[in-house]
Chain A
Amino acid sequence: MTETTKTPPADPTPAPAPHGLIPLPPAAARALLLLGSVATAASAFLAWTWTAEFPGDLTITGYPGGLQWLTFTAGVLTALLTLASYGIRGLGWLLPARNNAPLVLTAIGGFAVTWFTVIAISAELGGLANLEPGGWIAAIASLIPLIGAFALPQDGNTTDGGKEALKAYIAKPDRIPAPTPTAPWIQRAAITAVTALGLGVFTYGIDTEYGELFVGYLIVVVFTVWALHTAGLLDRFSHLIAGNRSFTLAMGFLAAIAFPFTQTNDHYANIGVNILIFGTVALGLNIVVGLAGLLDLGYVAFLGVGAYTAALVSGSEFSKFSGVQFPFWAAALTGAAASLVFGVLIGAPTLRLRGDYLAIVTLGFGEIFRIAVNNMDGDSGPDITNGPNGIPAIPDLDFFGFDFGETHDLGGFTLGRFANYYLLMVLIMAIVVLVYTRAADSRIGRSWIAIREDETAATAMGINGFRVKLIAFALGAALAGLAGTVSAHVTYSVVPTPYQFAGSTPPNSAFLLAAVVLGGMGTVAGPLLGAALLYLLPEKLVFLQDKSLLAFGIALILLMRFRPEGIIANRRRQLEFHETGQLDVPQQTTLTDEPAVTKAGA
């Protein structure tokens, strides 16, 4: 609902006059929507500018390029939804509630991405003169569905004007009609299709070559996802997932594995592997923060412990133990074990106390770790880590003769160095996801949640709070250590700088926490999505790099204020954070067919 918080500022959301929600008969409005969106899609085939200086080459008539594709997509989506609202057979599933909000949102999305492009062209090339007639046509065409959309009646029966009237346009209806039961194979086919589509969309995002395209991509994705949310399709999909959990997981991993095969440039596989490392660590942190409710602010130090341990036993000639070269499985275990030991050392004295102490002690530990590795160079401390120079020249991994540093050809696909590591990381992530889901749904996971909910009551139920918290903390540390061992090999070298509390590039503890919080605490997909977003944003938007930390700081504050459950809300969390009770009736009630009586109990 407050996805607006992450809408790029470039989005010129139109603000019709408070009452002037365009007076037109609904039929005309719908017709405007349909015609306008088709026209928008069509305008993508025109030349928008005269020079290829603007990235993506928007000069060719008859063939859309770059941002034009996004306009095209948005136009087609709006058209499809409008057709669905006409009740065209075969499209009804797109709009189960027959509400207008999805139309409005996709129309805004199309308008926003088109106008963003046109404005970007004018701004970057220096003036409106750089627009070809096609650009003007696109701008006007994308405005038409917007007029149509705001001429439609709101879904809710809002009579007040102003902000409320606008809000009613994009509100999700309270009740989405239950889906008609479908055969299992259809459900699975749907999941497969959505996963494939997701992979496609995600890959497109990673492969965007310039910032403007990425911004346009984000605009379209945000408004489309938002539209699907208000249409109730996301709810339906999560029901579908709930019914086919292991199938969805399997499809997810298949999609993850498929990613490097879609890439021709190893650079994007590099981004992929970094997102995976970052995401895996965030998921580990999610056990600690999301499940057990322990705020760990020095989590990246455990990644560092793992990375340094792996580097020390990697056989690098700059390692203190340069003669030692562990096989990878042994190095991974050593790294995880070392992190675990540190986790217990930090956790044991602090977990007996109130949670806030843990936050500050872990913050301290994170800082101490960085200082210590910086100083252990033989000059200002014992000679272990080479100080600020770190341990370079970490050799590539070698599994049974499969050298990760080499390019391999696999059935017509070429897998570069980063693609190799990417696949290894998928394996590690699979392990972490498995650990997370299995632990969460068990006696120990329940006791973590119980501790998070009410520690006194949990102890009175026989839970040894200290023990289960320590297990969560140590498990989180060990998983971070495991991820660290791979990251040491991926980056060739380990240096102290990334392992700090806050910095402008991931990983650091603040980014990790932000990934978990932004994505959604206590979910599997949330931290992964959060990690991907937080990694891609500074990577793609170079101009933002300097301000990225500022943006994250403000984003954290706003998130806690307006959508503390993150993008992907855990059902529990969502209920926990919004006390007002508008969400108090869980989806489950439609299944048990018993309206839950909501009463603010103790």
Chain B
Amino acid sequence: MNTLPQQLANGLLLGSMYGLIAIGYTMVYGIVQLINFAHGEIFMTGAFGALTVYFYVLPDGTTMWAAVPLMLIGGAIVAILVAVGAERFAYRPLRQAPRLAPLITAIGLSLALQEVVRNFYPGADKARAFPSLDTTHDIGSVTIKDADIFLILAAVVCMASLAVFVRRSRTGRAMQATAQDPDTAQLMGIDTNRIIVIAFAIGGFFAAVAAVAYGLKYGNVDYRMGFLMGLKAFTAAVLGGIGNIYGAMLGGIVLGIAETLASAYIDEIPGMQQLGGQSWANVWAFCLLILVLLFRPQGLLGERVADRA
């Protein structure tokens, strides 16, 4: 049986999730040239926010139709609060500091967020069950779950709205201007602090969407889930060309597909029999990052050379 279409679909799904998270990295980086290492943890807090809504806010027996939008809102509120709070209290005071300072802060923040959840969220020291949408549908030779449909829909809607927002709205254009040249933008009367906060908030929102999709798809969440997902999403952002929102999504999808195909088929290559399977997927994703940095450091859609400023 030909498994390729199924694998491609899996890759596309995984990739959209990376892409959604990558938006947060790419927008923040595009504007303040900061790798917000803690973004993976913002994704994680989004998942726990949604979980809270499901288990502690909604009455038992709420149908998933009603629950999912509310969980989305809950997750988004938590993730946005965390993202904006991080910007306001951890990063903003360091804006003029040497480059290393905000990076180290980000690491501290990422550890602290993980540990806060692990220590203080009930039962979060182990994986916690998340309501999942497991009903499957067959489309040709491809089987997908309801959760996958949610993910694809969410990704498409989010990307489309973001594109419109950035191009059409006043704030979106101010954002582009700030990304080009923060000093000049400020001189032109743009409140750059506000723009930066908005970038963090959008990143938080997208991460929350991805987090809900993650939970619905895999059926559990844990305090460490942000680390690898964040790392991969950053890889996706670089792959697509950091600073470019479409690049982030494209990079995510390319990474997702490459990773899925590698873990599915690489063991068929003579000499690499033992390097297949899920356990090596991360290794291949990482190798892809190295290759991209070697041969196209500006990323797939990056126009200007990647090391701007």
Contacts and interface: CB of A to CB of B under 8 A. Distances in A.
B112 A553 contact: yes
A466 to B, nearest CB: 12
B107 A556 contact: yes
A154 B44 CA distance: 49
A375 B280 contact: yes
Interface in B250-309: 274-275, 277, 279-280, 282-283, 286, 289-290, 293-294, 297, 306-307
Contact of B107 (A297, A349, A356, A576): A297
Contacts of A555: 108
B163 to A, nearest CB: 26
B297 A352 contact: yes
A305 to B, nearest CB: 15
A364 B289 contact: yes
Contacts of B307: 353-354, 357
Contacts of A306: none
Given A354-B306, A360-B238, A382-B274, A560 B97 contact: yes
Contacts of A295: 100, 103-104
Interface string B116-157: 100100000000000000000000000000000000000000
Contacts of A552: 108, 111
B153 to A, nearest CB: 30
B280 A510 contact: no
Contact of B99 (A353, A355, A378, A553): A355
Interface residues of B, number: 48
A549 B101 contact: no
A186 to B, nearest CB: 40
B283 A560 contact: no
Contacts of A365: 286
A507 interface: no
A359 B111 CA distance: 16
Contacts of A546: 119
Interface residues of A, number: 52
A513 B110 CA distance: 14
B103 A364 contact: no
Contacts of B277: 380
Contacts of A382: 274-275
Main secondary structure of the interface of B (DSSP, over half): helix
Contacts of A371: 279-280, 282-283
Interface in B68-103: 90, 93-94, 96-103
Given A357-B238, A365-B286, A550 B111 contact: yes
Interface in A365-390: 365, 367-368, 371-372, 374-375, 378, 380-382
B97 A577 contact: yes
B220 to A, nearest CB: 20
Contacts of A571: none
B275 A381 contact: yes
Contacts of B94: 560-561
Contact of A364 (B105, B107, B231): B231
Contacts of A564: 97-98, 101
B107 A353 contact: no
Contacts of A224: none
B105 A576 contact: no
B216 interface: no
A357 B308 CA distance: 12
Given A353-B293, A557-B112, A363 B103 contact: no
B83 to A, nearest CB: 15
Contact of B105 (A350, A352, A561, A579): A561
B114 interface: yes
A289 interface: yes
A381 B238 contact: no
B228 interface: yes
B16 interface: no
Nearest to B125: A546
A536 interface: no
Interface centre among A372, A378, A552, A560, by most B CB within 10 Å? A560
A502 B306 CA distance: 29
Contacts of B275: 381-382
Given A354-B306, A360-B35, A549 B103 contact: no
Contacts of A460: none
Contacts of A499: none
Given A549-B115, A553-B109, A577 B279 contact: no
A374 B279 CA distance: 9
A293 interface: yes
A510 B107 CA distance: 8
A71 B275 CA distance: 61
B286 A368 contact: yes
B89 to A, nearest CB: 8
A72 B113 CA distance: 41
B205 interface: no
A547 B274 contact: no
A361 interface: yes
A369 to B, nearest CB: 10
A577 B90 CA distance: 16
Nearest to B101: A560
Contacts of A374: 279
Given A550-B119, A553-B109, A557-B112, A357 B103 contact: no
Contact of B290 (A349, A502, A579): A349
Contacts of B227: 367, 501
A550 B115 contact: yes
A554 interface: yes
B283 A556 contact: no
Contacts of A357: 238, 293, 297, 306-307
A380 B297 contact: no
A354 B305 CA distance: 10
Interface in A312-366: 346, 349-350, 352-357, 359-361, 363-365
Given A293-B99, A553-B108, A553-B113, 18 more contacts: A293-B100, A350-B290, A356-B103, A359-B37, A360-B234, A360-B289, A363-B231, A367-B228, A513-B107, A550-B111, A553-B109, A553-B112, A553-B115, A555-B108, A557-B112, A560-B94, A560-B105, A564-B97
Interface of B: 33, 35, 37, 90, 93-94, 96-105, 107-116, 119, 227-228, 231, 234-235, 238, 274-275, 277, 279-280, 282-283, 286, 289-290, 293-294, 297, 306-307
Interface of A: 289, 293, 295, 297, 346, 349-350, 352-357, 359-361, 363-365, 367-368, 371-372, 374-375, 378, 380-382, 501-502, 510, 513, 517, 521, 546-547, 549-550, 552-557, 559-561, 564, 576-577, 579
13 contacts: A353-B306, A356-B99, A357-B238, A357-B307, A363-B231, A367-B227, A368-B283, A378-B274, A502-B114, A552-B111, A553-B110, A553-B112, A560-B94
A-B CB proximity, top 9 nearest: A556-B108, A553-B112, A553-B111, A550-B115, A354-B307, A557-B108, A349-B294, A560-B105, A364-B286
